[in-house]
Amino acid sequence: MDTFIPKPKISKVYAEIVNRRNECIYDLLISCGLRINELKRINISDVNLDNCTLKIRGMGNNEWTVFIPIETACLLEVIIGNRDDKEPLFVNRYNSRISDTHLGRICKLDKYEQVP
């Protein structure tokens, strides 16, 4: 079964977004169709703001490129700031890579919501 986020939950979560990092996370999940595991693997070096693209690594280390909306690219530019290219894009308060569990909490997802 596929997982999904119901439309009412999308609207509710967008209304409760508290910072730019969380807004960017949500935008990438929704607009690019990324999985949480793919999102947490993104490094700053995978972001190309000139072309508005992201290099994504999936299962089996397969790589592909996705286009990101210009609004999301602007958020990414603010989030990245002057950070080092080798760093993870999304970090927790301890400056380590954000976890699946934390990403789920940000998006207020139940463990997995299944398509009937």
> What is d(CA 113, CA 33) in angstroms, rounded to the nearest whole number?
16
The answer to whether residue 38 sits within a structural domain is: yes
How many domains does the structure of the chain reveal? Answer: 1
**Residue 26 backbone zone (phi > 0: left; psi -120 to 50: alpha; other: beta):** alpha
The pLDDT assigned to 51 comes to: 93
pLDDT for residue 16: 61
Does residue 41 lie in a domain region? Answer: yes
First to last CA, the chain: 8
CATH of residue 33 = 1.10.443.10
Q: Residue 54: its pLDDT value, please?
A: 93
Domain membership of residue 22 as a residue range: 7-106
Phi, psi of 31 (to 5 degrees): -75, -30
In a domain, 114, yes or no: no
Return per-residue pLDDT of the chain as tens, 116 residues: 345 556 665 566 565 666 788 888 888 888 888 888 888 899 999 999 999 999 998 888 889 999 999 988 988 998 888 777 778 998 888 888 888 888 877 766 554 444 34
Residue 52 placed within a domain: yes
- Residue showing tokens 């958020």: 75
What local confidence, expressed as pLDDT, does residue 115 receive? 39
Q: Is 1 within a domain?
A: no
> Residue 92: inside a domain, yes or no?
yes
In this predicted structure, what is the pLDDT of residue 3?
54
Q: Kindly state whether residue 57 falls inside one of the protein's structural domains.
A: yes
Structure tokens at 13: 């979560």
Domain assignment present for residue 99? The answer is yes
pTM of this structure: 0.73
Strand order across the beta sheet in which 53-57 lies: 47-48, 53-57, 63-67
